A and B are shown apart, each in its own frame.
Chain A
């Protein structure tokens, strides 16, 4: 774990009218970390994440991503991050190869780079026989793995994953996390939101958001110790039961 801060926020706020979606959150994510960003529905996770990706302007507070300011240096931030959204976000009417080539293209990668990387990617995912199939015809689990691989295709320093494993079976989720760990080993910092508490255990550190606040931030084992809980499930329940906001 490096000392470099990949994400650093200070009193970051987002309000929509009277509604405070994200309330003065302050946290750091270090380089190479797998950082779990947890919270119940409506806790403000997605809003916070969007501010960090440059999709949404913070109302107040400070934040830097890979050392760049979220207000002024969004262009530089965009070059250094990857993003996988909650919704499946590849084009179903394009083939596996076409999707890869498109995303490589809009990130400005060279043709040769795109070719060699996509060959490697297809090998890793064992999609050799499906490379020319429309993405729409693939099973959901494969699509998710492909979407993740595409999100890190341009070798970003940091990748944001917004509930990447929603609706996927446990085996595929396990494989998905193998991919995440592999990316982490390659030096990519992972910022992931999830609903599954077993996944929280895979993270180096996690933060727990309740009603727009960050209520807890520590390593899973430390959190279990603090809350005297046997599992992350209990920790989550302990923290989230006081929540007033639900979707």
Chain B
């Protein structure tokens, strides 16, 4: 026990002495949360949009005028047919298209009911929602003006079509995503580098010659990072609650429970990586390539998994953060209890146990 404490003490010294580690450990989550947080709340100005006007009447003209006058939008072009929409979207020249059907004015005047179609590029869901909201306000404004002149209630119905991301996920969902990303990254990277560093420096030999059991070496590497990751988690949650005003709807204990599951899975992965390489650069590269990319791709907070090709959807199942993301979203945002996440938790727990067993088994007790 005393040996273990001496070792853990040493690990903490390593962490606190290295500014780079400290920066990665605590700078990364804070930067991520703030970055995502403020990107989210920032208003969007001068976003290029296009209009397809089949009606070309008084009403559409005044709405287009309003769009033109708005600070939020820059009118990129007014077209006559649908063909143009796809083209401009593909070239990335616009974020939203407004389509007025023929007889817009007539419908509005005679039946008091007309439709406008909005098409948004929802690959960036935050921008898409914001733009739709802006346009909605603009329309309400227009309707109010109309009512002032005429008695009849007018109702313009917005038919919304979000292309690329029909569910429009991503408003508050990035916090669980960042949690998954940061925990995985920090744990995998830190542990693999911490163990490989000992090999590279030659201190691992000394440890293996000492009566300190190799298994204990793993334990003493894992405990400090487990602890630091939990601190990290608290920082992320505190930032979300106090800076981003995101309420934690569900049980905090449940949230920490599943997070520790993910942390353990990540730590085991780190140990595994440290077994296949002997230098820090490679360990770092494997951790980054092996973790960052799959996590970004397959967790679901950046790119919705539902829209991926079947093949990639299957692959996404082996990424632990995918399950963690679902759990955290359910617990933290929707406020659901354990009965709604037991399946995902079981999968995550299974992965953790598997990785833990493999990494302990693979850990080389002797050098050759």
Contacts and interface: CB of A to CB of B under 8 A. Distances in A.
B3 A106 contact: yes
B368 interface: yes
B203 interface: yes
Given A56-B367, A89-B203, A98-B13, A79 B211 contact: yes
A89 B206 contact: yes
Nearest to B14: A93
B206 A107 contact: no
Given A55-B367, A81-B209, A83-B209, 8 more contacts: A54-B209, A56-B368, A75-B211, A93-B14, A102-B9, A105-B10, A107-B3, A107-B212
B92 interface: no
Contact of B211 (A16, A55, A56, A78): A78
Contact of B13 (A54, A93, A103): A93
Nearest to A14: B368
Given A55-B208, A55-B209, A91 B14 contact: yes
> Shortest 10 CB-CB distances between A and B: which pairs?
A105-B6, A87-B202, A83-B209, A106-B212, A78-B211, A56-B368, A89-B202, A93-B17, A102-B10, A89-B206
B202 A86 contact: yes
Contacts of A104: 6
25 contacts: A50-B367, A50-B368, A53-B209, A54-B208, A54-B366, A55-B205, A55-B366, A56-B367, A78-B210, A79-B211, A85-B206, A89-B206, A91-B14, A91-B201, A92-B201, A93-B14, A94-B14, A102-B6, A102-B7, A102-B9, A105-B5, A105-B10, A107-B3, A107-B210, A107-B212
Interface residues of B, number: 25
Contacts of B6: 101-102, 104-106
B206 A83 contact: yes
A103 B203 CA distance: 11
A47 interface: yes
Interface of B: 2-3, 5-7, 9-10, 13-14, 17-18, 201-203, 205-212, 366-368
Interface of A: 16, 47, 50, 53-57, 75, 78-79, 81-94, 98, 101-108, 134, 151, 160
Contacts of B13: 93-94, 98
Nearest to B1: A108
Contacts of A50: 367-368
Contacts of B7: 102, 105-106
Contacts of A53: 209
B365 to A, nearest CB: 9
Given A56-B367, A93-B14, A93-B18, A105 B205 contact: no
Nearest to A81: B209
A16 B202 CA distance: 22
Nearest to A46: B368
Contacts of A101: 6
A100 to B, nearest CB: 11
B367 A91 contact: no
Kindly name the residue among B201, B208, B368 whose own CB sees the greatest number of chain A CB atoms within 10 A.
B368
A91 B206 contact: no
Nearest to A95: B13
B115 to A, nearest CB: 67
Contacts of B212: 106-107
A105 B10 CA distance: 10
B209 A78 contact: yes
A78 B209 CA distance: 6
Nearest to B205: A85
A107 B211 contact: yes
B206 to A, nearest CB: 5
Given A86-B202, A91-B10, A105 B209 contact: no
A229 B14 CA distance: 51
Contacts of B202: 85-89
B58 to A, nearest CB: 75
Nearest to A104: B6
A104 B9 CA distance: 13
Contact of A91 (B203, B211, B366): B203
A92 B212 CA distance: 21
A90 B203 CA distance: 7
A47 B368 CA distance: 9
Contacts of B209: 53-55, 78, 81-83, 160
A133 to B, nearest CB: 13
Nearest to A76: B211
Contacts of A108: 2-3, 211
A87 B204 CA distance: 11
A242 B368 CA distance: 28
A108 B366 CA distance: 21
A82 B211 CA distance: 10
A56 B206 contact: no
A105 B3 contact: yes
Contacts of A91: 10, 14, 201, 203
